Chain A
Amino acid sequence: MNDLDPVIHQPARLKIMSALCQLGERARVDFTFLKDNLGLTDGNLGAHLATLETSRYIAVEKEFVARRPKTFVAATPEGRHAFSSHVAALQSILLPK
């Protein structure tokens, strides 16, 4: 049986990982786009992204777009694997024993 991942299980991080894993493997999403769509504040999202980045579940890259700094976020292969294992663990809890 798979184990639940405490890093991912926190509700905001669960939302973030679900959203990021919905994107293609080569896609990265803008911080503001993610914040607006998940309904999180700048600080809240930044803190959770830092936690996920420390666990190497996401990659955060900063770039200049039209001379303005922008932050792009993507799920790493490790993060995608951890997320699917976490979902499998949640589903296994619901299975009749």
Chain B
Amino acid sequence: MNISPDEAAQALKEIEASRSLMRSAIRSYRGHLYLWLWGCIWVAMSSLNWAYGQGALTYTNWLSGGGLAATLLITVAQGRQIRCRTDGRFLGVCATLLAFGYLVWPVLLGDLHSYDFRSYKAAFAYFSVLWMQIYMVGGIWFDNYWFWIGLVSTALIVAVLLLVPALFWASTLLIGFVLLGTGFYVRYCWR
């Protein structure tokens, strides 16, 4: 098949136009809704914990549960137009991490209720870092920005808890704003 340079240039223009059209159409599916949702939840959880300390535990649990339900709803709603094949291996790794983090380590090997976390902050940090491992595994698995969100958040949570615990809730508040900001970047600036 032979075509002239003009026809080739025209075809390449059409390819670029189609790519650009699709890029803007799929921009709504790049995960910014999850980032905004969890950014708001982190901001709310951190503010409540900062204000009420351990008294905010119930609200924290409700916010996390509501966040998981909303995450599922977003996934179902967006899956009507663009959906990804379920990756059983990835879900298996996540389930293993969560089972270890919530069951094997604190309940079977230790005791969730009597285990001597040094403080409520340390317990909050433990479960936050556990979920950040999911971000990191997801980022490595799918080769995307989740890895960096997980890594930076984990490093910040652990460093502040160990070095300047007085600023702990300020650091988790910062993570909330980082998630919100990343959501805006992904939605409006990322090409």
Contact = CB atoms under 8 A, between A and B. Distances in A.
Interface of A: 3-6, 9, 11, 14-15, 18-19, 22-24, 26-30, 32-33, 37-38, 65-66, 70, 72, 87, 90-91, 93-94
Main secondary structure of the interface of B (DSSP, over half): helix
B80 A4 contact: no
B8 interface: yes
A21 B142 CA distance: 16
Interface in B1-17: 1-3, 5, 8-9, 11-12, 14-16
Contacts of B108: none
Contacts of A28: 82-85
A15 B3 contact: no
Interface of B: 1-3, 5, 8-9, 11-12, 14-16, 18-19, 21-23, 25-26, 79-85, 87, 142
A87 B19 CA distance: 13
Contacts, number: 80
Nearest to B16: A18
